[in-house]
Structure 1
Amino acid sequence: MGRTSRKRRSTLTTRMTIASAALLLGGGGLVAVNVYASAQEDPGQDAGGGTRQQAQQQGQQRQVATIDCPDVGTSLPDVPDGARGRVDGELATLDSQITEAYQRLASNRTAAAQDPNFVQNSILGPLKDKRGAVLDRIGQDIRRSGGRPPQGLDGMAPCTGRPSEQPQQPSQPPSQQPPGQPSQQPSQQPGDGSDGGAGDGAGGDTGNGNGPDASDFVDIKSVQPNVAVPRNQRAASRGTFTTACGRNENGKFNPDNVIVAPGVSNGAHHMHDYVGNQATDAFSSDDDLANGQTSCRNQGDKSTYYWPVLRLQNGKDEADVGADGGGKDQNVGEIQTPSSVTLKFDGNPTSKVVAMPRFLRIITGDAKAFTNGDANANASWSCTGFENRQLKDKYPICPQGSKVVRTFRFQSCWDGANADSANHRTHVAFEDPRTGACPGGFKAIPQLVQRIVYAVPPGPGFAVDSFPEQLHKAGTDHGDFINVFDDKLMQRVANCINRGDRCT
């Protein structure tokens, strides 16, 4: 499944701290949800502390905090191979359209507050027309390659304006929830802020202009232990294999996603940390990855591991202040290098594992979970010393001396045939969280577990990069993996796990 390789025109400059977030975004860069300051400066305000018009403006603005569009990519499980490249490009165009519409919302917050029809007429209506044209092209691409577009594809053109509250979606089915993780139901912890409204002045956002706010954080000590792990059965594969690939000390970042948007610069609209393969960008072919350098100690592991960067919202910005994926996509703040990164492959509680196929692609978590709902929100947050308490939709406030922990458990069941799928999900699955068994027709493979630790100041003040309209919510965290182990080493990984050994 080799991909055409094209070289990037430019690379991200060396990290450097240069300017404050306030100067970066300025008045026009602050997002719609922060309109309250402008409303309070309304010259029509009386000495009594407010007007009915001001209240109406605030109420209207809460309704257009962000833009919610149907996620077309997840609705395309079957795309003919001949159309896959063109469809991936069109999906990236849809993401860019949403970003542009969100930027218009952000820069026209006053107009949106004053005119209840502004968002629909000036932002959502034109966006629907643009999306409709792209969806039509996607349907044509699929038909020309002998496939059938899914029913209702044309109906996915309209988007809506919505507030910043976390969506209350049903939990994902058990077969799609990773074992050893808490329920997908949104956290309802003491003091977590029930309405989730960003920028209303009550808690304030953490400084990057479009979230998160204080209600997106919760004291980890207020969370009850919630991790359950299936018991190992007689045929379990009990071993582990750990690969050491560093902490991205090399400073390799880009806003690409070669899995979801191959061949598209800034396909992620947020910056990624990379460890492992150093040749990874949007234009990397399988041959490029196979021939690339690796930061892994074992040079037989040229896999690529990447995730959104974590930034401190401290008024300090990086060299990407004016770049795609950074300031241009409203991702600002000081990028944090993890204090430790652990990449471990586990076995299966009910069976032996088979070796992963080379160039297998897996995504865990959902970069659009804030608008999509939590069905694929599998990444979790915790603190050192409290890792039996995991959060899905909140950032943790860790006590003094404890560090923030991000954990990604990847799908560990493979369909036995495909290294990828059109929506990058249906070729792999999670084992049953109660029994540990893979779904029928799937084979157990080594489960990648990424544990990323950060020494950040306690309390609200950090966030992961995200698509702009996702408001930097914790539930949008995600991890990506492409297996580029050489075949002999991958077989050794499987053998080690099946024997019950602890290998490196």
Structure 2
Amino acid sequence: MLGGGTLVAVNVYASATEGSSDQQTGQTAQVLSAPTVYCPDVGSRLTSVPDAARADVDDELAQLDQQIAAAYQQLKEQAAAIQQDPGAADGAILAPLKEKRSQSLQRIADAIGRAGDRPQGLDDLAACTLRSSDQGSGGQSASPQDSGAPSQGASASASAGTGSGGQGGNGPVAADYADITGVQPNAATPAERSGGSTGTFSSSCGVNANGLFNSDNVIVAPGVSNGAHHFHDYIGNQSNNAFASDDDLAKADTSCADRGDKSTYYWPVLRLQNGKQERDADKPGGGTEGNAGQIVTAKQVTLTFEGNPTSKVTEMPRLLRIITGDAKSFVNGPANANASWSCTGFEDRQLKDKYPLCPKGSEVVRTFRFQSCWDGRNIDSANHRTHVAFEAADGSCPAGFEAIPQLVQRIVYAVDAPSLADGGRTVPLFAVDSFPEQLHKPVTDHGDFINVFDEDLMRKMVDCINSGRTCGAGAGEQPPSQSAEPDPSESATPQDPPSDTASPVTEPSDTAAPADPPAETGSADPSEPATEPSEPATEPTATKNGSDSSGGTGLPHVYTSASPKKSSGTGGVISKPTDRPETQAPADAQSPAGAAPAGQETPPGTAPQTEPQAVQGDLAETGAHLWPAVFGGLLLAAGFVLLWRTRWRSS
């Protein structure tokens, strides 16, 4: 009787829980598979803007970003009606948006025309379209390329062209991942020549353990809240938001060990598609634009400035702005894509358009190699690209450009290879934040840098690099050996880890927290505390793994830095540093998805950073899975009969 009753109870509960998971997946797909708004990028077409027109052009580019942000919000509010009738978006959203963009483009052309040659063809950029975020439905693709086309080392999973569409309903999919062990070595380094600069200078600025995030981009969209439409990690300068002036950046605090480095380094956050809600779940730049799931804090971040193989390097100008990669490359094409993905122990193998599936014992590595040739005059350009360029394959700079220290960012994450066979339900998918129509593709990854080094420290950097020395606050931090690969006998199949695989590690345990977290300036919301993974004691120095030879070489007019003007609208949040107890080890893999790690504490008096998105199960939907309960019922009935007969005989 006891055995049968227990079997009934356990099976009923398990079936209800399983139904809950299925129901949650179905609801996510139904609610979040609406299309997104795609508009042609105007800034990238403006390769040269006269100085006299720069302020007006910047204002209008900011207006264009605000218009798109408002369209995203309208699309969200009218999602149900548009899913039933996609044509309804034309009159309600796309037509008014086109009219506003046409007016802004006209004013841009007028401003440039008053100071120089009037640009042609801007009117062609006014119209926007809806892009389907449901790749599995046969809807309009958001890319001119075949997003499911395999690249070298593509996943061997039978479901390579399919996937859950991600927690936000707009990616990633299984085809966005590749087994790093199947990729052939492809990283190369230009041969060093006589007269080159072989030194390195490192800056140690932490891992954003204090949780400084926002969805602004002061380089591309100054003065516009949520100008990036996705969240960024920030290290270094602690006053970086859309409204930060050059003076604000110069006076700001820094997370860097050397206080002379107040530069700002930022990149899109990496998230686990694990069903948890971050504090931006219902905010622009976050969940309202398809960027959902738990933000992962890097285990290590290394910032290394390297020399040039063919020449000495010159000092970077103060407040130089550099963007590497293209946040819209899934739609624009891969010409400016520049992020590389790999795994520790396999960094001679770099992926551009796939996330890596790392074997057990190996960790995800994300690398940005910034442009290292400068036109000698400008700290920015109209499209934020043509004032800098990449060195050629032999290390030389284009004519008219001079070599500057090359920033190499190496970011390491302790995340497990997702289980692609079940859409990441066993081990969650991971992906970078992106614009909604970019579908979280790895090719859209990008990094941003503003040089706010003290002039004395910049001179020391250049002298160190040109003299072939190793210097800087992070100079003693060495990377792990790249020659030793993890033991294959200890690794699980990356595409489909077993059910008892440990949950993805998002926070290093038992590591020392930063001794003196910098006080944050700028906008902050104390009601939204950050969960701060502790910073590891060491950060490896990046290895030099080749360089792309792309980027414009045109010479724009001399620009000063943009002066952002505050504009209305809601944007991303910058979290305020909070005291936090030491983090605990991750929970066992058998913990239900969305549950907090076992033993993890929450600071008293504060709301937790993540909340599980639970949906109750429905027993009416689980009848097909209740056969063990039927057997248990028979055992229970047999027990009653046996008890009755025993009592009858004894009487």
- TM-score (normalised: structure 2): 0.62
Q: What is the SS of the residue equivalent to 1:496?
A: helix
Inter-partner Cα distance in structure 2 for 1:22 and 1:93 = 38
State whether residues 364 and 408 of structure 1, in contact with CA within 8 Å, keep that contact through their aligned partners in structure 2.
Answer: yes
Provide Cα deviations, 1:374-416, integer angstroms capped at 9, x if missing partner: 1111111111111111111111111111111110110000000
Q: CA deviation at 1:94?
A: 2.5
Q: Which of 287, 295, 312 does residue 255 from structure 2 map onto?
A: 295
* Residues 241-256 of structure 1 mapped to structure 2, 5 A cutoff: 241-256=201-216
For residues 85-484 of structure 1, the aligned pairs below 5 Å read 85-101=55-71, 117-118=87-88, 123-144=93-114, 146-162=115-131, 163-164=140-141, 166-168=143-145, 187-191=151-155, 202-432=162-392, 434-459=393-418, 461-484=429-452
C-alpha distance 436-319 of structure 1, shift in aligned 2 (>3 A): same
| Deviations 1:88-108 (CA, angstroms, capped at 9, x unpaired) | 232233334344445655676
> Does structure 2 retain, via aligned residues, the 8 Å contact 1:227–1:390?
yes
Q: Which deviates more, 127-136 or 353-362?
A: 127-136
**Cα distance in 2, alignment partners of residues 94 and 263 from structure 1:** 12
CA shift at 1:431, angstroms?
A: 0.3
How far residue 338 of structure 1 moved from its aligned partner, in angstroms, is: 0.3
> Contact conserved, 2:168 with 2:287, CA < 8 A, in 1?
no
Note the 1:23-38 alignment, pairs <5 A: 29-32=31-34
Inter-CA distance 22–307: structure 2 relative to 1 (3 Å threshold)? farther
Tell me which amino acid in the other structure corresponds to 1:77.
Answer: T
Q: CA 1:267–1:458 in structure 2 vs 1: closer, same or farther (change >3 Å)?
A: same
* Cα distance between partner residues in 1 of 2:468 and 2:272: 40
- Measure, in 2, the Cα distance between the counterparts of 1:232 and 1:495: 18
Distance between the aligned counterparts of 1:370 and 1:130, measured in 2?
A: 25
Match of 2:464 in 1: 496
Q: Give the drift of 1:329.
A: 2.4
Contact conserved, 1:247 with 1:340, CA < 8 A, in 2?
Answer: yes
Contact 1:364 1:478 in 2 (8 A): yes
* Alignment: residue pair count: 431
| Cα gap change, 1:149 to 1:455, in 2 (>3 Å) | farther
Moved more, 337-346 or 93-102: 93-102
Query: Aligned pair in 2 of structure 1 residues 211, 436: CA closer, same or farther (>3 Å)?
Result: same
Shift of 1:27: 7.5
Note the C-alpha offset of 1:122: 5.3
Question: Can you list the C-alpha shifts for 1:137-179, whole angstroms capped at 9, x where unaligned?
Answer: 22233334x133421111111234453465449xxxxxxxxxx
The alignment status of 1:74 with 2:44, answered yes or no, reads yes
Q: Is the 8 A contact 1:31 1:107 kept in 2?
A: no
Q: Quick check: 2:326–2:337 contact (8 Å CA) kept in 1? A: yes
Distance 1:219-1:89 versus aligned 2 partners, 3 A rule = farther
Q: Per-residue deviation at 1:222? A: 1.8
- The CA deviation string for residues 198-236 of structure 1, in whole angstroms up to 9 with x for no partner, is xxxx42223122111112111112222111221011111
- In 2: Cα distance, 1:192 partner to 1:361 partner: 40
Q: What are the ranges of 5 or more consecutive residues in structure 2 without an aligned counterpart?
A: 1-20, 132-139, 419-423, 473-651
Aligned residue type for 1:321: A
User: Per the alignment, do residues 29 and 203 of structure 1 end up closer, same or farther by CA in structure 2, a change over 3 Å counting?
Assistant: closer
Moved more, 102-111 or 488-497: 102-111
CA distance in 1, matches of 2:248, 2:64: 27
CA distance in 2, matches of 1:69, 1:192: 35
Do 2:369 and 2:408's aligned partners in 1 also have CA atoms closer than 8 Å?
Answer: yes
Deviations 1:3-44 (A, max 9, x none): xxxxxxxxxxxxxxxxx9969x96775023xxxxxxxxxxxx
Cα distance, 1:322–1:114 mapped onto 2, change above 3 Å: closer
- How far apart, in 2, do the equivalents of 1:484 and 1:72 lie? 28
* CA gap 1:27/1:130 in 2 versus in 1, 3 angstroms: farther
SS state at 1:300 partner:
coil
SS of the counterpart of 1:137? Answer: helix
- The answer to whether the 8 Å contact 2:62/2:222 transfers is no
Q: CA deviation at 1:355?
A: 0.7
Pair 290,480 (structure 1): closer, same or farther in 2 beyond 3 Å: same
Q: CA deviation at 1:193?
A: 8.3
Three-state SS of the structure 2 residue aligned to 1:332 is coil
* Native 8 Å contact 1:380 1:391 kept in 2: yes
Query: 2:234 touches 2:266 (CA, 8 Å); kept in 1?
Result: yes
2:33 corresponds to which letter in structure 1? Answer: V
What's the % identity of the aligned pairs?
63
Displacement after TM superposition at 1:466 (Å):
1.1
Deviates more, 1:185-194 or 1:306-315: 185-194
Task: Say if 1:408 and 1:478, in contact at 8 Å, map to a contact too.
Answer: yes
| Closer/same/farther in 2, CA of residues 360 and 334 from structure 1, 3 Å limit | same
Asked whether the equivalents of residues 29 and 169 of structure 2 are also in contact (C-alpha less than 8 Å), the reply is no
The unaligned stretches of length 5 or more in structure 1 are 1-19, 33-64, 170-184
1:301/1:485 contact within 8 Å kept? yes
Distance 1:503 1:22, change over 3 A: farther
Q: What SS class does the counterpart of residue 319 from structure 1 fall into?
A: coil
- Check 1:286–1:103 CA distance in 2 against 1; reply closer, same or farther (3 A cut): closer
Q: Deviations over 1:35-65 (max 9, x none)?
A: xxxxxxxxxxxxxxxxxxxxxxxxxxxxxx5
Q: Are the aligned partners of 1:308 and 1:477 in contact in 2 as well (CA < 8 Å)?
A: yes
Greater alpha carbon shift after TM alignment, 79-88 vs 411-420: 79-88
